[in-house]
Chains A and B, each alone.
Chain A
């Protein structure tokens, strides 16, 4: 939420945002599944200008042994920003406090969705690399990781997605970009299970009234159903257009 107020742009002019969107408009979201040769499951997402790669390993032997559980698979997550991801406003690249925080909340979201009792003593590792960042990376990360987990065939209760809502110039808007994230009055990322409506990740920066939060949740729920369609499309494409190798190629 940093940003120098002297540089603050007008975030909302006549109902139009900095990039021309309306308050209920999402940025463009594109997902491709099965893009990494080595990982069990993988997905690549381009959400607005965000470019994020998710890879899943597991269920595999849980190392170190003392982490393992006799009753279920342990879910691990590493969220990391690449050095060239343009993360200066968010902090330096590489593992830092923010990355550790996001690793934790993303892990906890999936812990509640993955049916881990089937795989005692193992670990399921979620790796998310942010190649380019433009606001809302944790939501894009959750969305991509869910597709990657489905690609790996890991049993889950639902395919989850996430989106953030923000308050800009007094109005609640969905899916903030980098400037809206930095100069807005509030930022609230939320992950949902669309089937049950349950919330799996819920964070907030800034100040919101209860009715603003309710409005935000409503906008987020609507947005998530659109994102879900993109996720399902990505998974279906793996089977509709089967390829023998799993490399992310251009063209």
Chain B
């Protein structure tokens, strides 16, 4: 990637040169990976699923190999196993244990799991993509930075899911917004 040592995410330096470690797009000094596991960061807004109920709090499935912990002291409501929540990652320690807070229970719906690196494209600039899906399907779509997307509401959730899968597959291409708009319009129920 470079003939001198540079500090770039997902790249590493050896013998004075910089190399990429993953398949990605490199432009203007930034490397964006096209695939990869979710790496939690503080202040990420995520969709999680309650996986365990304990006395002091809850274990949350965050679509990563690391389990998040939501302390009972952080929230007012009670959750059950299998509930979906929209929450913030408060803290990540050196071994990637996550503390989660600001959790809100999500209404009944369904989960679509996508690669977390595609989420920015699913949300779009200033929420443009996700707003387009909402408008054309009548569903509420909540995309967590961790790759979990929650679809809820009385709209066409199948269409919403197909649109999300389409974006996931083509996230790296140009003209995607137009193609998704076209797809939604042509498959929209009258």
Contact = CB atoms under 8 A, between A and B. Distances in A.
Contacts of B96: 119-121
| Contact size range, A | 20 to 34
A118 B39 contact: yes
Contacts of A62: 65
B33 A153 contact: yes
Contacts, number: 70
Contacts of A16: none
Interface in B34-63: 34-37, 39
A41 interface: yes
B140 to A, nearest CB: 23
B173 A153 contact: no
A70 B94 CA distance: 9
A54 to B, nearest CB: 15
B95 A153 contact: no
Nearest to B33: A153
A150 B34 CA distance: 10
Contacts of B10: 155
Nearest to A236: B23
B8 interface: no
Interface in B1-35: 10, 12, 14, 19, 21-23, 33-35
Contact of B65 (A60, A153, A195, A242): A60
B83 to A, nearest CB: 21
Contacts of A243: 169
Interface residues of B, number: 28
B35 A41 contact: yes
A120 B39 CA distance: 12
A190 interface: no
Contact of A154 (B36, B39, B95, B170): B36
B169 A150 contact: no
Given A115-B12, A119-B65, A239-B172, A153 B166 contact: no
B35 A70 contact: no
Interface string A169-195: 000000000000000000000000001
B35 A152 contact: yes
Nearest to A114: B21
Contacts of B12: 115, 157
A216 interface: no
Contacts of B166: 244
6 contacts: A118-B39, A121-B96, A157-B21, A242-B169, A242-B173, A243-B169
Given A41-B35, A119-B65, A154-B36, 19 more contacts: A58-B37, A58-B65, A59-B37, A119-B37, A120-B95, A121-B65, A121-B66, A121-B95, A122-B66, A150-B23, A152-B35, A153-B33, A155-B10, A155-B21, A156-B22, A196-B14, A242-B169, A242-B172, A244-B168
- Sorted nearest first, the 9 A-B pairs with minimum C-beta distance are A153-B35, A153-B36, A155-B21, A122-B65, A242-B169, A244-B169, A60-B65, A59-B65, A120-B95
